Amino acid sequence: MIISSLQNPKVKDLVALQQKSQLRRERGLTVVEGRRELEHCMAAGFEPVDVFVCPEIPGRGFALPGMTTYEVTSEVYAKMAYRGGTEGVIATVRTRNLGLADLRTEGSPLYIVLESVEKPGNLGAVFRSADAAGADGVIVCDPLCDIYNPNVVRASIGAIFTVPTVEASSEETIKWLKSNNIQILTAQLQDSSPYYNTPMLGGTAIVMGTESTGLSQSWRKAADAHIMIPMAGQLDSLNVSVSAAVLLFEAIRQRQESKTL
């Protein structure tokens, strides 16, 4: 049977989840749209609840052994989907609610900490960078955006599911980092040294704020070092996701180089 009605309860339910962050939080669900995103999600052990495919879209062929999938018409899929070109696959997925205690502290963990991030696209792109660098997690402090916003899922290409992610207040995150001897490096323009002159071999948390207001004083005071990316042009900063990638891969470079010495 193919779902053809826009009033179908499952269709209406998914659309509501797309649009309402409070509903996503209350039900512990998010919406994953696209083949790559769903594959990354499932590979990371997340559980799809309902999966919808549109047989009218070429190349869909998404098989989930032992799991019920619902076929929908192109009209219904257009109603459910947030964007075009997603291979005719969309699903609701159970989210996870990790805490700071769930994060790794032994060895030399590497974390990205974001304070008051508000743009879903930027947050999603940071997850991609964290995944690419093999970071141990992303800590989102005092968020102004739902970390499971469908825009975050899309911008991350599913990396939000592959990188351990925690929401916490700045106060409790600073306390947790200090108690676990993880150095705090704040990315800021004032009183800072070039990032490549700052050791990142031990446990490290790279802390970044919003492009408009930067970091709060609590983070600046808690920092073990202030770091910056020198700018050669007319602008004084990079997009937060680009900055995160630069700083993460500097940490990786230092750690790999130390192993060869």
pLDDT at 62: 60
**CATH code for residues 2-94:** 3.30.1330.30
Write the pLDDT tens digit of every residue in 67-123. 678 999 989 999 998 776 567 889 999 999 999 999 999 999 999 999 988 889 999
CA dist 221 and 98 (Å) reads 27
CATH among 3.40.630.10, 3.40.710.10, 1.10.510.10, 3.40.1280.10 for 100-260: 3.40.1280.10
**CATH 3.40.1280.10 segments of the chain:** 100-260
Residues 135, 210, 242, 157, CA torsion sign: positive
pLDDT at 60: 52
Computed on alpha carbons and rounded to an integer, the radius of gyration of the chain in Å comes to 20
- Residue 183 tokens read as 């150095």
Nearest to 140, CA basis, from 110, 163, 172, 117: 117
**CATH 3.30.1330.30 segments of the chain:** 2-94
Residues 54, 56, 61, 66, CA torsion sign: positive
Write the pLDDT tens digit of every residue in 195-216. 999 999 999 999 998 766 778 9
Strand order in the sheet with 29-33: 2-3, 69-72, 48-53, 89-94, 29-33
